[in-house]
Amino acid sequence: MHEFNLKMTKIMALVVVVSVIFIMIGGIQLLKNNYYLRWPYFVLQWNYLKAEASYINYKYDGIMNMALHKSPVNFNPADTKNAKLIPVLIYHGVITDSNWKPDGTNIFLQDFQAQMFALKKDGWQTISMEDYIDFVRGEKQLPEKSFLLTFDDGRKDSFYNGDPVLRAVGYKATMFVITGASMDDGQSPFHLSQQELRQMIATGRWEMDSHTQNGHGSMPIDPSGKWNHFLTNKMWLAGKGRLETNDEYAKRVAGDLAGAKSDIEKKLGVKSVPAFAYPYGDFGQNPSNFPAVQTALTKIVSSIYSVSFIQASNNDYVSNAADGSFMSKRIEVDSSIDAAHLVRMLDNSRYKNLDYADNFSKDNGWLEGWGSRRIDNGEMLIGTTNTDDSASTFLSGTSLWQNYLMSAEAAVRNGDSFALTSRYSNEDSYATCDFTGDAVDLEQKVPGRNIPDITARLGNEIVPGATVNVAMQVNGNSASCYLGGVPVLSGTLDSSLTQGGVGFKMWDPAHKETLSVKNLKVSGILPSFPVK
């Protein structure tokens, strides 16, 4: 009997030990698979509390002021006018590591928070991707100070560090996901898992769109072993000793982009994936082993998605119009842009009404295409740099202007050459009146065409350092250049130059000259000749 009891005791002890082991394994598996029982979730909740407290302190200039029912400090109300231009912001990582050094791509959490708080205070509101697409197509009106907020790459730090800030200010965002990196079991320390992406969607603050399946990277493009971007080059097929054919390129790229769309729809339960963001902002404009890649890639992307996004260059306007364009520009934001600068940039990117005047008492949104520019004591000073033999600047918020007369006072210190720019769309599409000491040229720049200049000779009327009154008129398909209020040259514009904004150019290979511009006026109601 004693031996029987001893055996039973051992058996029971073994059962208890096995049960405990099974419970521990099950608990570990539960913790591993349950998002709400994992450490990152608890960290996120703490971050929510911190962001809410920070925003309340910012909004009311102290938490105690909110408790005393005081009003928010200098918060602008939402704008009731309709927007003609919409900016899109792009962020990558939101960093909390104090040892991290700004890299021109990512942003410190405190900087991101300051930017979002400042935009909210200035009256800016986020919109959905559907809202944005409907606006671009001209199918929906959106209020002024609307913007689309986007993040690239499906990074963990974007969500865990950025989402608490978005919740605090009531903003929404779109995450462009590299599905081949994110549709896993959550083991990546960098990319968000499928479960985490689902949780983001469940917050109601995040939408998911495509940033390729496995195409955010490089591949071999020649027999020497050189690598370049996946989407914008033909792959070198080492086993066949050749580049892939046009058809092979199209099949590879279309398969990746369609696969990414399918991943988001099927694995995340998203009904529609209308948008695509080009990795690195490369849509074929950079050097490639496939000369026709820009046309080929755009054809593939547009067959799968409704809209695509690239990063705006120095020569681009930073907001997008309701013009039906398939490709939209985004402003890349990092820690080098402080909150006040970002607010000014977005405010200045709004549509500027005609008639317009600028006395250069402050910067109203002049963008540097190249060279240097600064506003100083009632004048804008334009000059070359060590790397640029010329300079160009154009005015943000003027891309939709059509028929107008621009006039200004100009002087070239140590020189006599400069230009007025009209109907500027980008660095490859505009018209100019080029003034030199003894001539005026009407120049047109149009993609794929070489249009001869029209020239009028002067009698050395532009003297180095002397101020002259100059003007340029564009009306329909005609353009005219003025000097001293008198038209000196007219010509016919290319049919593609139908709209665009104003700007100035100068050229100086010796790096000794500075263009001074004062008292710009732009009139949409063309006065009678002569112009004074």
CATH of the domain at 241: 3.20.20.370
Question: How many folded domains does the chain comprise?
Answer: 3
Does the residue 399 lie in any domain? yes
Return the pLDDT at 530. 43
Return the pLDDT at 4. 47
Verify that 118 and 26 share a domain, yes or no. Answer: no
Cis peptide before 347 (omega within 30 of 0): no
Residue 38 vs residue 247, higher pLDDT: 247
Domain boundary among 324, 346, 368: 346
* CA atoms of 279 and 294, how far apart (whole Å): 14
pLDDT grade, residue 510 (50/70/90)?
confident
Does the residue 298 lie in any domain? yes
pLDDT tens sequence across 490-501: 999 999 999 999
Domain boundary among 346, 362, 380: 346
The 3 state secondary structure assigned to 124-135 is: CEECCHHHHHHH
Verify that 96 and 155 share a domain, yes or no. Answer: yes
Verify that 337 and 366 share a domain, yes or no. Answer: no
Return the pLDDT at 308. 97
The answer to whether residue 5 scores a pLDDT higher than 70 is no
Verify that 158 and 202 share a domain, yes or no. Answer: yes
Residue 188 vs residue 284, higher pLDDT: 284
Does the residue 388 lie in any domain? yes
Instruction: Give this prediction's pTM.
Output: 0.88
Q: What CATH number is attached to the domain comprising 477? A: 2.60.120.560
The 3 state secondary structure assigned to 421-435 is: EEEEEECCEEEEEEE
pLDDT grade, residue 30 (50/70/90)?
very low
Among all chains, which residue has been given the structure tokens 């943000």? 396
pLDDT grade, residue 46 (50/70/90)?
confident
> What number is the average pLDDT over the span 150-158?
95
Residues of the chain with pLDDT > 90: what percent?
71
Verify that 372 and 318 share a domain, yes or no. Answer: no
C-alpha distance from residue 102 to each of 98, 119, 166, 333 (Å):
11, 22, 22, 12
Note down the domain range covering 381. 354-523
* CA atoms of 59 and 431, how far apart (whole Å): 46
Verify that 436 and 503 share a domain, yes or no. Answer: yes
Q: What is the mean pLDDT of the chain?
A: 89
C-alpha distance from residue 501 to each of 55, 282, 515 (Å):
38, 26, 19
Domain boundary among 290, 314, 346: 346
> What number is the average pLDDT over the span 229-242?
96
Verify that 78 and 128 share a domain, yes or no. Answer: yes
Verify that 54 and 177 share a domain, yes or no. Answer: yes
Does the residue 529 lie in any domain? no
The answer to whether residue 34 scores a pLDDT higher than 70 is no
Verify that 259 and 382 share a domain, yes or no. Answer: no
Return the pLDDT at 526. 64
Phi, psi of 247 (to 5 degrees): -65, -40
Phi, psi of 276 (to 5 degrees): -135, 135
pLDDT tens sequence across 329-353: 999 999 999 999 999 999 999 999 9
Does the residue 528 lie in any domain? no
Does the residue 104 lie in any domain? yes
Verify that 188 and 321 share a domain, yes or no. Answer: yes
The answer to whether residue 440 scores a pLDDT higher than 70 is yes
DSSP one-letter string for 350-387: SPPPSSEEE--SS--SEEEEESEEEEETTEEEEE--SS
Return the pLDDT at 235. 97
Verify that 389 and 339 share a domain, yes or no. Answer: no
Does the residue 367 lie in any domain? yes
Does the residue 531 lie in any domain? no
Verify that 364 and 334 share a domain, yes or no. Answer: no
